[in-house]
Amino acid sequence: MLFSRLQLAVSGEFAKFSKGQWLETVKFQWRTFKDPNLKRQFKQLSVLGTAALPEDKYEKYEKTVADMESIYSKAKICAYNNSEKCDLSLEPEMTEILANSRNEAELKHIWTEWRKQTGATIRPLYNDYVKLLNEAARLNNFTDAAEYWLNSYDTPDFKEQVAELWKQLRPFYLEVHAYMRRKLREKYGESIVSKRGPIPAHLLGNMWAQTWGNIAELGIPYPDVKPEDITKYLVQQKFTPLKMFKTAEEFFTSINLSPMTEEFWKYSVIEKPKDRDIVCHASAWDFYNGRDFRIKQCTEVSEEDFVTVHHEMGHIEYYMQYKDQPFIYREGANPGFHEAIGDVIALSVITPKHLSRIGLLPNVTQSKEADLNYLMKVALDKIVFLPFGYLMDLWRWQVFKGTIPEKDYNCEWWKLRLNYQGVKPPTVRSEKDFDPAAKYHIVSSTPYIRYFVSFILQFQFHEALCTRAGEFDPNNPSEKPLHQCDIYQSKEAGNLLKTVLEMGSSKPWPDALEVITGQRNMDAGPLLSYFAPIHNWLKEENKKSGEYVGWESTEKGDI
């Protein structure tokens, strides 16, 4: 409670400061300015955000979000078949069970109980949140909060661009879905996983079925060619959370980016505190004084967290590179850029080539079979995420616009999950439930389309940086495949990346994209090129096995 009051007090003070800036800004006829840089700064300052609310409503908005986050962070459930043990948190206990258990009844219990502890309690608060955010949007001269959020992309046809990108990528997702449905049917039986229906969401290794990498062992194309267990090597080599962070720092300095600051090491939270509950969702923070940058992460010694550390440190690098820009430009070129920077580093970090170079893996031998296994594992994270990354904000845009009314929140959520992901809940859901609130970004009011955008951009960035590093030749991709590229120790690639990071949001994002890739539009081509070998394999495999590609919704409980 003390932290919450302090947080609200600081937030209130900052809102007053921002409103003061805004009131000064709107006195000027900035739209007539000739200097494009000055005009851009005024344009960005003219959007105040939630601080435009009257003070009492602003305080109510901040408290509503804080209360939703508090419910989420403190939620605990009882263990399966053990009603005496009721201290399971999302991180790490529930996450580990969903990743590792193959007991269908246990998975259903964890999935259902988490939603009981979050959604139903949060739902009344969410209705207030929607009304207040829409009011703030209108005070900023937007029609609703959907238009307010989309303003960050400064592109009139942004929604149409994203829809077209998904249309390009959907056929690949359908092949992954069909193949993994067959593998899950072989594991659990047709009574649980049907031949032509959606996949039950609790079987996919993740609380939200947003990535399926945790069940990769069920779908590896060549199971006799065993993938390396990175977690095992991390443990064997006595990695700690601190050593994982130091290893990530060394990657960034090897490409001529900056080491972490003294304040970073002093104030970051890199392990779960034992004396208090916190939201363990990893996040990076810029305190805007040019020195104080921090990460909050409940780090476990695992392959997944090893990659996450690099991702979060990518945010910190972005903060450090644009720290000398005017305050208003200290953000990503668009929100997707920030997420893409850490992920583009991770595309190098996860390669067997890189892990071998840093001594984490024994020497690895490349083969077609090993390559396909590797690409399948990556696809179960990257390709599988795309429809979830898209529908999170499709749902919220419609909620904000009122086309999804309060009475239909949960039903419409599951219609989108079914339509875009082809997944269904393991138990019948109703409007007494509020399953969107089982996801942190919903309760924390964090827009999500940035992650979809970042998954497109990171492969565009990866292709450009790999080309600059001499690790990829677009004219001869079979010689050095894009999925084998590692930009580690390439100062040429790092210097190109640094040029974009230093820009912050001082230029429209197509300008920043053009600096690094030579293109001004988002393009799914590099992503499809990266995964082409496994995409082709999946099409052949599904055809050979006679697997139905797509899904039919005829069963009660699909939504």
Q: What CA–CA distance (Å, rounded) separates 302 from 297?
A: 13
Q: What CA–CA distance (Å, rounded) separates 92 from 99?
A: 11
Q: What are phi and psi of 295, to 5 degrees?
A: -120, 140
Structure token pair of residue 164: 């077209």
Is residue 354 part of the annotated active site? The answer reads no
Instruction: Give yes or no for a contact between 400 and 442, defined as CB atoms under 8 angstroms apart.
Output: no
Report the run of H or E that residue 285 belongs to, with start and end: strand 283-286
Which 3 state secondary structure label does DSSP give 553? coil
Residue 67 burial (C-beta neighbours within 10 Å; 0-12, 13-18, 19+): middle
Does the annotation place 310 within a ligand binding site? Answer: no
Does the annotation place 202 within a ligand binding site? Answer: no
Alpha helices in 350-424 (DSSP H): 352-357, 368-401, 409-416
Cis status of the peptide bond prior to 92, with omega within 30 of 0: yes
Catalytic residue, from 96, 106, 147, 441: name it. Answer: 441
Catalytic residue, from 135, 249, 312, 463: name it. Answer: 312
Q: What CA–CA distance (Å, rounded) separates 490 from 474?
A: 18
Q: What are phi and psi of 549, to 5 degrees?
A: -100, 115
Q: What are phi and psi of 59, to 5 degrees?
A: -65, -40
Q: What CA–CA distance (Å, rounded) separates 422 from 133?
A: 31
What lies within 8 Å, CB to CB, of 244 at 6+ separation is 234, 299, 301, 305, 306, 309
Instruction: List residues bridging with 423 in a β-sheet.
Output: 199
Does the annotation place 450 within a ligand binding site? Answer: yes
Residue closest to 322 by CA, chosen among 330, 334, 311: 330
Is residue 535 part of the annotated active site? The answer reads no
Sign of CA dihedral 170, 172, 175, 179: negative
154 φψ region: left (φ > 0), alpha (ψ -120 to 50), beta (else): left
CA angle 164, 165, 170 (to 5 degrees): 100
Count Cα atoms within 13 angstroms, Cβ side, for 220. Answer: 17
Which residues make up each annotated binding site? 153, 311, 315, 339, 450
Active site residues: 312, 441
Which residues make up each annotated binding site for Zn(2+)? 311, 315, 339
